[in-house]
Amino acid sequence: MRMLITGATGFIGTALVDRVLREGIWRVRAAVRRDASTLPAGVERAHCEVGPSTEWGPALSDVQIVIHLAARVHVMRERTTDALEQFRSVNAAGTLNLARQAAAAGVRRFVYVSSIKVHGEAGLYRETDAAAPQDAYAMSKHEAEVGLREIGATAPMEFVIIRPPLVYGPGVRANFAVLMRAIARGMPLPLGAVENRRSLVGRDNLVDFILTCAMHPAAGNDTFLVSDGEDLSTPDLIRRLARAMGRPARLLPVPPALLRSAATLLGRRDVAERLLGSLQVDITKARRQLGWTPPVSVDDALRQAVAPA
């Protein structure tokens, strides 16, 4: 049996490929934009870039499962004047182009890794909650989800949509990596008075859930939220990261309202909200319908994330 994985050389994709190879059930074909010397031995390569006009025929030959990870993600210094159109071209039109060709090629199941941002930026979310995407990235992900459901309504191919929150693990980048560096350097962090709750998902937990959704009979034509199953406040996350590093957690009790005001003046309100606000996901559906439980504890996942490469 053969599985096609897009985004196979990315942060999640590398761990997914390694896990599938270890289990030895599936033959792996990786869709890559260029020669990828980092792929493990035994992985087939298909040179395809996700886009609205990409021809996927050879890549989909004899494939039973597609796991679609590749996406245009947040661009820190956006150079285009129409960011939404750029996100749509890859994340919506590119995804649906692949899905239509996968259905025509006889693929049995298409697993799409979307984002909790489809629901919004703050709150407690369940699968049944309305979509409320607030930026171009989230809008493009939502449009892809809508299109997948339309394809699934008329094609024999099953789809599964997964909406993860922030993913962390070895080699994590962006704001999570900045936070880890600050803790490692012993920097005082003015977050001791924050009383929020954030859902996260360790990379190995997400990989396990992706494979569950790829193979479980009850996952077909459905949508699931996923997390570590334990929500953390920002101060608790810092303390547990510090413990995993063997470093002290230096937390200063600065009022969150003052931090929000300062961040607004600096034009970094969005970054502040990720540290100060709450965003939780309810994974009851995944537990009940799929019998899934996160296999890696939060503390173990944090230790993996901070371990030297």
What's residue 81's pLDDT? 58
pLDDT of 77 over the 60 cut: no
Q: What is the pTM of this model?
A: 0.95
Q: What is the 3-state secondary structure (H, E, C) of 135-202?
A: CHHHHHHHHHHHHHHHHHHHCCCEEEEEECCEEECCCCCHHHHHHHHHHHCCCCECCCCCCCCECEEE
Domains of the chain and any CATH numbers: 2-163 (3.40.50.720)
For residues 205 and 193, what is the distance between their CA atoms, to the nearest angstrom? 29
Q: What is the mean pLDDT of residues 191-208?
A: 98
For residues 156 and 160, what is the distance between their CA atoms, to the nearest angstrom? 13
Nearest of 175, 181, 171 to residue 198 by alpha carbon: 175
pLDDT of 76 over the 50 cut: no
Nearest of 144, 68, 69, 60 to residue 102 by alpha carbon: 60
Instruction: Quote the distance between the C-alpha of residue 104 and its chain's center.
Output: 27
Q: What is the mean pLDDT of residues 68-85?
A: 74
For residues 61 and 64, what is the distance between their CA atoms, to the nearest angstrom? 9
Phi and psi for 7 in degrees, rounded to 5?
A: 70, 30
The mean pLDDT value of the chain amounts to 94
Q: What is the mean pLDDT of residues 51-58?
A: 96
pLDDT of 233 over the 90 cut: yes
Active-site positions read 137
Q: Is there a contact between 21 and 43 (Cβ–Cβ < 8 Å)?
A: yes
pLDDT (tens digit, 9 = 90+) per residue, 238-295? Answer: 999 999 999 999 999 999 999 999 989 988 888 889 999 999 999 999 999 999 999 9
